[in-house]
């Protein structure tokens, strides 16, 4: 038996090292050759998590659903009759906003008419959340989007300054000794609240108490882009839909651990030599697309979420989270 190392290469991008190699055992007799393949995805970042917790969760109750946009119900809510049920998209202007409903991909995009992004104006987080709350009370959207929504939170705070990696929070050791400065005791002082040019605020989907996550880690829901002049645009990931049960090959516990250690779906993109420590794994729902027969299908599966306390930059307000679907097709691991 002879061994031949075939097609060995490596490269790096975004701080990651990728390598692939195939070892082929070539038989010298009539026996079938034995092929061993080294996984091509490797990362310099070390991920630390409860392997036993992951293995336990991946063997619990699983679910895989194919989502089909309920176009007929949506179009009827937009005052279209049954004869337009094959309409794939439609645009509507309502209350200073232009909405484009994509019935084929089951999503919605809205933009304020003649929106003017005045980046010389700023607003506080409290003001941005107030704009968001007022917008979400608009009756027009209630029956036209998937409305299983949790409490709003800030995704991004945007300013005109640069972004910096946020590996860990820094602490200050500066002295607070002001004994050499005369303080006006008649002035009680006031809080100076940070202001920003714009905010991205999300109302996340929560189904049966579980978070819905994209395959690549981010939360899924309705996202609003807000400036000092109010809500500039919005995006709803899901319109009303119907779901059909599907079956597919599930991950084993060992598969799940191996994929997570390689950061397969959502690796951490900032360079760090410090291991990223995840909290206890939790059950989540994973939304992903699958391309088959020149068509794109939308699926929702059970999965596992690993949360850290690391932020990838100073604008991102949500910590880095790694996501794993319970099914191989949900991880591009067929």
Q: Using 50, 70 and 90 to split pLDDT, how confident is the model at 33?
A: very low
Burial track 269-281 (b if 16+ CB lie within 10 A, e otherwise)? ebeeeeebebeeb
Question: Which residues, 6+ apart, have CB-to-CB distance to 278 below 8 Å?
Answer: 47, 48, 49, 50, 306, 307, 308, 322
Burial track 96-108 (b if 16+ CB lie within 10 A, e otherwise)? ebbbebebeebbb
Q: To which residue do tokens 């709350």 refer?
A: 133
Write down the domain spans for the chain.
1-42, 45-68+243-334, 71-162+194-239
The candidate with the shortest Cα–Cα distance to 300, out of 237, 202, 213, 208, is 213
- Average pLDDT over the chain, rounded to an integer: 81
Question: Which residues, 6+ apart, have CB-to-CB distance to 289 below 8 Å?
Answer: 296, 297, 298, 299
Q: Using 50, 70 and 90 to split pLDDT, how confident is the model at 73?
A: confident
pLDDT tens readout for residues 101-118:
998 889 999 999 987 766
Contact 63, 325 (CB under 8 A): no
Whether 330 shows a pLDDT value over 80: the answer reads: yes
Whether 305 shows a pLDDT value over 90: the answer reads: yes
Q: Angle 238-233-208 (CA atoms, 0-180°, nearest 5)?
A: 30
pLDDT tens readout for residues 16-29:
444 443 433 434 34
Question: Which residues, 6+ apart, have CB-to-CB distance to 111 below 8 Å?
Answer: 97, 98, 232, 233
Contact 268, 167 (CB under 8 A): no
What pLDDT score does 41 carry? 45
Q: Is 130 helix (H, G, I), strand (E, B) or coil?
A: helix
State which H helix or E strand residue 221 sits in.
strand 221-227
What pLDDT score does 161 carry? 64
Whether 326 shows a pLDDT value over 80: the answer reads: yes
What pLDDT score does 298 carry? 95
What pLDDT score does 4 carry? 43
Give the number of other Cβ atoms within 10 Å of residue 207's Cβ: 13
Percent of the chain at pLDDT > 90 equals 49
Give the number of other Cβ atoms within 10 Å of residue 131's Cβ: 20
pLDDT tens readout for residues 229-273:
999 999 999 999 999 999 999 999 999 999 999 888 888 877 667
Give the number of other Cβ atoms within 10 Å of residue 123's Cβ: 20
Identify the residue with better confidence: 30 or 222.
Answer: 222
pLDDT tens readout for residues 153-198:
999 988 866 555 555 554 555 556 777 888 888 887 778 888 889 9
Q: Per the structure block, which two tokens stand in for 177?
A: 């000794």
With a threshold of 0.85, does the pTM exceed it?
A: no
Percent of the chain at pLDDT > 70 equals 78
The candidate with the shortest Cα–Cα distance to 198, out of 220, 229, 223, 221, is 229
Q: Per the structure block, which two tokens stand in for 274?
A: 């410090």
What pLDDT score does 316 carry? 80
Whether 333 shows a pLDDT value over 60: the answer reads: no
Identify the residue with better confidence: 133 or 41.
Answer: 133
CA–CA separation, 248 and 263 (whole Å): 22
Contact 323, 214 (CB under 8 A): yes
CA–CA separation, 222 and 201 (whole Å): 8
């Amino acid at each position: 038996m002879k061994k031949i190392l075939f097609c060995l290469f490596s490269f790096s991008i975004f701080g990651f090292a990728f390598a692939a190699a195939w070892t082929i055992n070539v038989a010298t007799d009539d026996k079938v050759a034995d092929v061993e393949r080294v996984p091509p995805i490797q990362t310099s970042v070390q991920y630390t998590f409860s392997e036993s917790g992951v293995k336990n969760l991946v063997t619990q109750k699983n679910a895989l659903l194919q989502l089909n946009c309920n176009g007929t119900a949506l179009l009827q809510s937009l005052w279209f009759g049954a004869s337009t049920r094959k309409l794939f998209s439609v645009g509507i202007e309502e209350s200073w906003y232009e909405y484009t409903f994509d019935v084929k991909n089951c999503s919605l995009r809205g933009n304020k008419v003649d929106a003017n992004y005045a980046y010389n104006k700023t607003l506080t987080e409290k003001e941005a959340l107030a704009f968001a709350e007022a917008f979400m009370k608009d009756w027009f959207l209630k029956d036209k989007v998937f409305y299983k929504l949790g409490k709003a939170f800030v995704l991004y705070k945007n300013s005109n300054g640069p972004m910096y990696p946020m590996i860990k929070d820094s602490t200050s050791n500066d002295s607070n000794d002001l004994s050499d400065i005369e303080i006006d005791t008649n002035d009680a002082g006031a809080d100076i609240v940070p202001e920003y040019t714009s905010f991205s605020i999300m109302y996340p989907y929560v189904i049966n108490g579980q978070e819905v996550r994209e395959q690549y880690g981010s939360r899924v829901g309705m996202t609003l882009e807000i400036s000092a002049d109010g809500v500039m645009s919005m995006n709803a990931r899901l319109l009303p839909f119907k779901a059909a049960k599907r079956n597919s090959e599930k991950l084993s516990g060992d598969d799940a651990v191996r994929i997570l250690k390689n950061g397969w779906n959502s690796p951490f993109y900032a360079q760090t030599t410090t291991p990223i420590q995840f909290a206890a794994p939790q059950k989540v729902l994973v939304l992903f697309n699958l391309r088959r027969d020149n068509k794109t299908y939308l699926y929702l599966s059970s999965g596992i979420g690993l949360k850290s306390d690391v932020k990838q930059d100073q604008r991102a307000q949500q910590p880095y989270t790694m996501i794993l679907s319970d099914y191989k097709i949900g991880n591009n691991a067929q």
